[in-house]
């Protein structure tokens, strides 16, 4: 179990079974739960020849480190998604759409960002290895399956990685509340990387300076800014909207 990780919650575990059941070593389930949702998950696991281990709720809580496990925890290996940036970009057909997160430390925010990235059809989420949360059980649960489908690529030097993206003709659009241009002034129909800053400090100076274009999300109400996952969704769906509009012309 040393190289495995825990995946908990119905969405996350079911998604792992559907996308890569061979990576699941075993699933621990609440022995006292016998509702339809649990029966369906157990049936899916048995069809994939994955071992089911009934245990009490207390053990599940100790394993997950939280009470929000929904009565199901999978012990699973690493996914076979793209392992590095070059491998990812070489496999993309058409203009890439990427989400770059510069220092997101809250696992709930990362999970939500992965979820909106999946929904908008982004090819990957890129983040620095340091000063950022990694993929863990909380991230996977919040992502509701997106952690199993969206490559999450961590890099040692984010500024250098951004320069490499530019060399591949991927336009870097950074987001900042003080940017002069608005989100809807940008063109995201070509290769695009949307760059989001950390929850409190925003983009680091070098990240900001490396971007090709800075935009702000127009705010029409009383609040000054959006949560990073909400902002990511707004930006990615605008990029998707423009691409769909371009195809329909």
Q: What is the CATH number of the domain that holds 165?
A: 3.40.1280.10
171 — pLDDT class (breaks 50, 70, 90): very high
Q: Are residues 72 and 89 in the same domain?
A: no
- Domain harbouring 38, CATH code: 3.30.1330.30
Q: What pairing do the DSSP bridges indicate for beta strands 192-196 and 181-182?
A: unpaired
Express as a percent the part of the chain with pLDDT over 90: 62
Residues 170 and 228 reside in one and the same domain: yes
Phi, psi values for residue 210, rounded to 5°: -80, -20
> pLDDT at position 132, please?
86
Q: Which residue has the higher pLDDT, 82 or 190?
A: 190
**pLDDT bucket at 249, cuts 50 / 70 / 90:** very low
Read off the pLDDT of residues 6-38 as tens digits, 9 standing for 90 and up: 888 888 888 788 877 888 999 999 999 989 999
Question: Residue 97 CB: number of other CB atoms within 10 A?
Answer: 24
Q: How many structural domains are present in the chain?
A: 2
Euclidean distance between CA atoms 138 and 88, whole angstroms: 25
Domain co-membership, 188 together with 94: yes
130 and 220 share one domain: yes
pLDDT at res. 101: 96
Same domain? 141 vs 208: yes
Same domain, 9 and 56: yes
What is the model's pLDDT at position 145?
A: 82
Last residue of a domain, one of 76, 95, 115: 76
> Which of 82, 74, 57, 99 has the alpha carbon at shortest distance from 4?
74
Boundary residue ending a domain (76, 103, 120): 76
- If asked whether residues 46 and 156 sit together in one domain, one would say no
Name the average pLDDT for the chain.
Answer: 89
184 CB burial (10 A radius; 0-12, 13-18, 19+) = exposed
Residue 44 sits in the same domain as residue 135 = no
> Of the candidates 76, 94, 113, which is a domain's last residue?
76
- Dump pLDDT digits (tens) for 98-128: 999 998 999 999 999 999 999 999 999 999 9
Average pLDDT over residues 184-198: 95
Its domain, for residue 28, covers: 5-76
Q: Are 104 and 192 found together in one domain? A: yes
Q: What is the mean pLDDT of residues 184-211?
A: 93
Looking at the fold, whether 138 and 17 belong to one and the same domain comes out as no
Q: Is 167 left (phi over 0), alpha (psi -120 to 50) or beta?
A: alpha
pLDDT of residue 79 exceeding 70, the answer is no
Whether 97 and 207 share a structural domain: yes
205 and 244, same domain (yes or no): yes
Are 175 and 169 a contacting pair, CB within 8 Å? Answer: no
């Amino acid at each position: 179990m040393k190289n495995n990780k825990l995946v908990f919650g119905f969405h996350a575990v079911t998604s792992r079974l559907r996308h890569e059941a061979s990576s699941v070593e075993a699933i621990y389930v609440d022995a006292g739960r016998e509702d339809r949702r649990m029966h369906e998950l157990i049936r899916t696991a048995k069809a994939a020849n994955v071992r089911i281990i009934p245990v009490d709720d207390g053990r599940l809580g100790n394993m997950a480190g939280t009470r929000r496990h929904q009565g199901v925890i999978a012990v699973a290996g690493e996914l076979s998604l793209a392992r590095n940036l070059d491998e990812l970009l070489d496999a993309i057909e058409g203009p890439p759409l990427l989400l770059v997160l510069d220092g997101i430390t809250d696992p709930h925010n990362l999970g939500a960002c992965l979820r909106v990235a999946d929904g908008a059809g982004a090819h990957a989420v890129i983040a620095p290895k340091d000063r950022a949360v990694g993929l863990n059980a909380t991230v996977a649960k919040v992502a509701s399956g997106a952690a199993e489908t969206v490559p999450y690529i961590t890099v040692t030097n984010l500024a250098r990685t951004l320069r490499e993206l530019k060399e591949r003709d991927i336009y870097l659009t950074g987001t900042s509340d003080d940017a002069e241009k608005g989100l809807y002034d940008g063109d995201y129909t070509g290769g695009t990387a949307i760059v989001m800053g950390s929850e409190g400090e925003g983009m680091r100076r070098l990240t900001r300076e490396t971007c090709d274009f800075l935009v702000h999300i127009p705010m029409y109400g009383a609040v000054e800014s959006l949560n990073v996952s909400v902002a990511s969704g707004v930006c990615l769906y605008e990029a998707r909207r423009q691409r769909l509009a371009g195809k329909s012309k």
